[in-house]
């Protein structure tokens, strides 16, 4: 009988050691596979590397990924961004007008909430004003679900309850801290969908003021807006400090629609808008919250001399100011009038020949062109342009 603590025989010890070594090798292999999968996961690679980073004590962690060179993820039927159930993939552009109209199957507020709620990877929003509680609720819900969420806003509105709720929930929010405005109203979702236009995320802009927004399905356009977001969110570069680095100044959508993309002040958006007006051969239709741009007014006057018809609606509060171009255009024969909305006309869009439309956050002003952070799209889509012409019809009448 062997002693209770007798040493094991050599053969048993060897087998035990070999078994332990095998277990160690398996464990090392598993760790290697996990590390490789982590490095290769697309959700953690951005372009550029610091794009949309949430800066914390441990350094930047990506908030948004545009996945350059890869096809955009498919839209799962029960995750469509539009509240009405339609996918923005067909057609790639949806347009919304505010205030919502009775019987509208896809009102602007629900479209925005549907877009945010559809996010599975990332939400990057540059909102001049964030006031609507349902929008804050949607952002917080996505954040709590593990979606990477980041917000840029104007410091003038940093104490809005909706903003403070996002901060308290752990969503990283960056403010411009500049005298000029961070005037954008855009959101990029999952590196694929872009929401932009004139609509602030407030009760006034959604439910009382005249506004518009577009939702566009384009990975390339999303990269443009993601780069702009990254300048502000990561690099804290606003206004005149913004670099001229738009990856795709012009993109082509899945249906062949051509879209020009400009950010202000770095991309000379005011010059692009004046050139757009100068391209008119038959008519120009517009709606403008602020129209003080000398170059744009002169471009319209020049086209009127050649027989181009110009008509538009000015926001009544500023139409009679010394800087406004209302009087100049009226005296040259443009069919212009002030709005009749008891609230405000807050649109900033211009349609040329019922064939293309310029829209975004960009007011027709020097401040928008030279000081503020703004965006402007020129969308060459006759069907979309006609919807904007119809909106001018409604505002004029």
The residue segments making up the domain with residue 351 are 270-396
Contact 158, 228 (CB under 8 A): no
C-alpha angle with apex 244: 298 to 370, nearest 5 degrees? Answer: 40
| Separation between Cα atoms, residue 49 and residue 52, nearest integer Å | 9
Beta strands 93-98 and 211-217 are antiparallel
Is the pLDDT reported for residue 94 higher than 80? yes
Phi, psi of 393 (to 5 degrees): -50, -50
Last residue of a domain, one of 239, 256, 285: 239
Residue that is written with structure tokens 């602020």 in the block: 290
In a domain, 96, yes or no: yes
Same domain, 284 and 330: yes
Same domain, 294 and 232: no
Phi, psi of 94 (to 5 degrees): -120, 140
In a domain, 23, yes or no: no
Among residues 257, 256, 292, 295, the alpha carbon closest in space to that of 276 is found at 295
Cβ-proximal residues to 41 (8 Å cutoff; 6+ apart), any chain: none
205: pLDDT confidence band, cut at 50, 70 and 90? very high
In a domain, 244, yes or no: no
Q: What is the pLDDT of residues 165-189, one digit of tens each?
A: 999 999 999 999 999 999 999 999 9
Same domain, 294 and 372: yes
Same domain, 209 and 283: no
Same domain, 98 and 218: yes
pLDDT at site 155: 98
24: pLDDT confidence band, cut at 50, 70 and 90? low
Contact 312, 286 (CB under 8 A): yes
Domains contained in the chain, number: 2
Same domain, 280 and 171: no
| Separation between Cα atoms, residue 381 and residue 357, nearest integer Å | 8
Over residues 265-278, the mean pLDDT reads 98
In a domain, 22, yes or no: no
Predicted TM-score (pTM) of the model is 0.80
Same domain, 98 and 177: yes
A 10 A CB-CB count for 157 gives: 18
93: pLDDT confidence band, cut at 50, 70 and 90? very high
126: pLDDT confidence band, cut at 50, 70 and 90? very high
Given phi > 0 = left and psi -120 to 50 = alpha, else beta, which region is 15?
A: alpha
Segment holding 35, helix H or strand E = helix 10-40
In a domain, 9, yes or no: no
- 126: domain CATH number? 3.30.870.10
Same domain, 138 and 223: yes
Same domain, 131 and 223: yes
**What is the spatial order of strands in the sheet that 374-380 belongs to?**
250-252, 258-264, 374-380, 356-360, 348-352, 283-288, 309-314, 335-338
In a domain, 3, yes or no: no
Last residue of a domain, one of 239, 256, 286: 239
22: pLDDT confidence band, cut at 50, 70 and 90? low
DSSP strands (E only) in the chain? 93-98, 122-127, 148-153, 173-175, 185-189, 193-197, 211-217, 250-252, 258-264, 283-288, 309-314, 335-338, 348-352, 356-360, 374-380
Is the pLDDT reported for residue 64 higher than 50? no
Dihedral sign for Cα 103, 94, 363, 123, please: positive
354 burial level (CB within 10 Å; 0-12, 13-18, 19+)? middle
| Separation between Cα atoms, residue 139 and residue 169, nearest integer Å | 10
Is the pLDDT reported for residue 144 higher than 60? yes
Is the pLDDT reported for residue 134 higher than 80? yes
Q: What is the pLDDT of residues 71-89, one digit of tens each?
A: 333 333 334 454 443 444 4
In a domain, 159, yes or no: yes
Same domain, 133 and 188: yes
Last residue of a domain, one of 239, 257, 288: 239
195: pLDDT confidence band, cut at 50, 70 and 90? very high
pLDDT at site 19: 52
pLDDT at site 78: 37
In a domain, 20, yes or no: no
Contact 184, 178 (CB under 8 A): no
pLDDT at site 83: 41
Same domain, 222 and 301: no
Beta strands 173-175 and 93-98 are unpaired
| Token output for 298 | 């002169």
Over residues 120-144, the mean pLDDT reads 98
Same domain, 372 and 282: yes
């Amino acid at each position: 009988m062997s002693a209770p603590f007798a040493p094991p025989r050599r053969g048993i010890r060897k087998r035990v050691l070999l078994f332990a070594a095998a277990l160690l090798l398996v464990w090392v292999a598993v760790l290697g596979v996990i590390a490789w999968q982590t490095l290769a996961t697309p959700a953690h690679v951005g372009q550029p590397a610091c794009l949309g980073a949430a800066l914390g004590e441990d350094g930047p962690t990506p908030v948004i990924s545009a996945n350059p060179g890869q096809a955009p993820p498919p839209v799962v039927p029960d995750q469509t961004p539009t509240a009405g159930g339609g996918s923005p993939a067909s057609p790639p552009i949806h347009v919304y007008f505010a205030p919502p109209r009775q019987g509208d199957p896809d009102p602007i507020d629900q479209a925005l909430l549907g877009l945010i709620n559809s996010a599975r990877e990332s939400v990057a929003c540059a909102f001049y004003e964030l006031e609507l509680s349902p929008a804050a609720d949607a952002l917080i819900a996505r954040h709590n679900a593990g979606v990477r969420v980041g917000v840029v806003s104007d410091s003038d509105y940093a104490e809005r309850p909706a903003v403070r709720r996002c901060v308290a929930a752990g969503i990283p929010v960056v403010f411009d801290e500049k005298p000029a405005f961070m005037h954008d109203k855009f959101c990029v979702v999952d590196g694929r969908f872009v929401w932009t236009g004139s609509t602030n995320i407030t009760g006034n802009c959604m439910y009382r003021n005249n506004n518009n927004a577009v939702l566009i399905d384009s990975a390339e356009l999303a990269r443009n807006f993601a780069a702009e977001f990254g300048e502000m969110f990561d690099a804290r570069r606003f206004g005149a400090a913004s670099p001229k680095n738009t990856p795709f100044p012009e993109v082509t959508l899945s249906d062949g629609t051509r879209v020009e993309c400009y950010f202000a002040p770095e991309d000379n958006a005011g010059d692009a808008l004046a050139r757009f007006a100068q391209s008119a051969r038959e008519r120009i239709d517009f709606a403008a919250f602020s129209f003080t741009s000398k170059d744009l007014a002169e471009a319209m006057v020049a086209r009127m001399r050649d027989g181009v018809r110009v008509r538009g609606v000015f926001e009544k509060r500023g139409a009679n100011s010394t800087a406004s171009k209302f009087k100049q255009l009226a005296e040259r024969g443009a069919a212009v009038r002030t709005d009749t909305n008891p609230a405000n006309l807050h649109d900033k869009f211009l349609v040329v020949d019922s064939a293309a439309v310029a829209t975004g956050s960009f007011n027709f002003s020097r401040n928008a062109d030279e000081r503020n952070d703004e965006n402007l799209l020129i969308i060459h889509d006759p069907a979309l342009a006609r919807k904007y012409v119809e909106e001018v019809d409604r505002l004029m009448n």
